[in-house]
Homo-oligomer: A and B are copies of this chain.
């Protein structure tokens, strides 16, 4: 096998984004994945709403979400131009909706946080929010409108990224990775599940929830675990019952596609690699959707999909170099993988080019305090 500048492990949105960006800047890139474009990325609803929740202690993460969100329009324009493919990207805005007084208290916290971050968003009373999103149920207590939010269709995004990578000469090895080869504290290459050896001195590990399972590294070196998520897709029916914005409730979110489909997500389950959709998840997602949009009961039932988010101990991604020379992590994006693809791709490509992490990802170093072994 040839010696490559960079080998990226994982062909989800993050891995493909990095491969495309690095190759665009002149690197020779190989991507290793048994099934490029599948995995959690293909299950993600693709809601690009950087701040719809308020979490203490996640200020840097929301800042990074915002940076990536702002990069999205130009990044998509370039990708669609290079690939000649649509990604389903559109600026639909987000409506956060409150069912009751408790929900309103939570929304006010989120609104204050959005204001601190300098986002454009508006609090709306019941009648106002139903003017913006008429399919909301009559009990809706109020909401927040974020007009700048957007969405992308991850399955279309992945197809465009694959095409753009091929266009830039990225080489694909359709194989699992059995281990990263480390010699004297430095990356020496990797071995595939088929027993091939790929020689290289730089590996970007972007294998999502599987990142923690790659052999050759010390146990617990990559602190990523699978966090199961189930989403239900409803199929086009009566348009008047379906939202037109991304909608965020306290227990559910809804992402309407241009063709009338509606993605309802998502459970957050600590169930290891259990791949099965469950009756309870389908019930709960449909119930929460119905509480906000009573008319969705009339929509056609499509399917249930299961994905595994790469979760980390502090819910923030692992971005940058490690103690092993030549091993770079770009994983652990948890619930923000699609949203964080442009900024991750750009910053990791810069790191590969310059040898140092851009400042806005240093807080996400894989060697940060919260990642230290306990």
Selected from B235, B281, B286, B296, the residue in CB contact (under 8 A) with A276 is B235
A232 closest partner in B (C-beta): B279
Instruction: State the Cβ distance, A340 to closest chain B Cβ, in Å.
Output: 30
A300 to B274 alpha-carbon distance, docked (Å): 11
Q: Is the CB of A279 within 8 A of B304?
A: no
Q: Is the CB of A280 within 8 A of B300?
A: no
In the assembled complex, A370 has its CB within 8 A of some CB on chain B: no
Selected from B277, B283, B299, the residue in CB contact (under 8 A) with A287 is B283
Q: Is the CB of A298 within 8 A of B278?
A: yes
Mask of A217-238 contacts with B, CB within 8 angstroms, 1/0? 0000000000000001011010
In the assembled complex, A59 has its CB within 8 A of some CB on chain B: no
Q: Is the CB of B289 within 8 A of A301?
A: no
Interface bracket on A = 20 to 34
Q: Is the CB of A304 within 8 A of B301?
A: yes
Selected from B237, B279, B290, B300, the residue in CB contact (under 8 A) with A234 is B279
Q: Is the CB of A277 within 8 A of B304?
A: no
Selected from B234, B237, B282, B297, the residue in CB contact (under 8 A) with A301 is B282
A290 closest partner in B (C-beta): B283
A278 in contact with B304 given A283-B287, A286-B283 (CB within 8 Å):
no
Q: Is the CB of B280 within 8 A of A297?
A: yes
A301 neighbours in B (Cβ, 8 Å) = 276-279, 281-282, 304
Instruction: State the Cβ distance, A4 to closest chain B Cβ, in Å.
Output: 42
A235 to B278 alpha-carbon distance, docked (Å): 9
A279 neighbours in B (Cβ, 8 Å) = 232, 234, 286, 289-290, 296-301
Report A9-57 residues with CB < 8 Å from chain B CB.
none
A232 neighbours in B (Cβ, 8 Å) = 279
A235 to B277 alpha-carbon distance, docked (Å): 10
A300 to B232 alpha-carbon distance, docked (Å): 14
A298 neighbours in B (Cβ, 8 Å) = 278-280
Report A68-94 residues with CB < 8 Å from chain B CB.
none
Instruction: State the Cβ distance, A53 to closest chain B Cβ, in Å.
Output: 25
A277 closest partner in B (C-beta): B301
Q: Is the CB of A282 within 8 A of B278?
A: no
A237 neighbours in B (Cβ, 8 Å) = 276
Question: Can you list the 9 inter-chain pairs with the closest CB atoms, starting with the nearest?
Answer: A280-B297, A283-B286, A277-B301, A276-B300, A279-B299, A282-B301, A279-B301, A234-B279, A279-B296
29 residue pairs bridging A and B, Cβ less than 8 Å apart = A234-B279, A276-B301, A277-B300, A277-B301, A279-B286, A279-B289, A279-B290, A279-B296, A279-B297, A279-B298, A279-B300, A279-B301, A280-B286, A280-B290, A280-B296, A280-B297, A280-B298, A281-B301, A282-B282, A282-B286, A282-B301, A283-B283, A283-B286, A283-B287, A283-B290, A283-B297, A286-B286, A287-B287, A301-B304
**With A237-B276, A280-B290, A282-B286 given, can you name 10 additional A-B contacts, CB distance below 8 Å?**
A234-B279, A278-B298, A279-B290, A279-B301, A280-B286, A280-B298, A282-B282, A283-B283, A283-B286, A287-B287
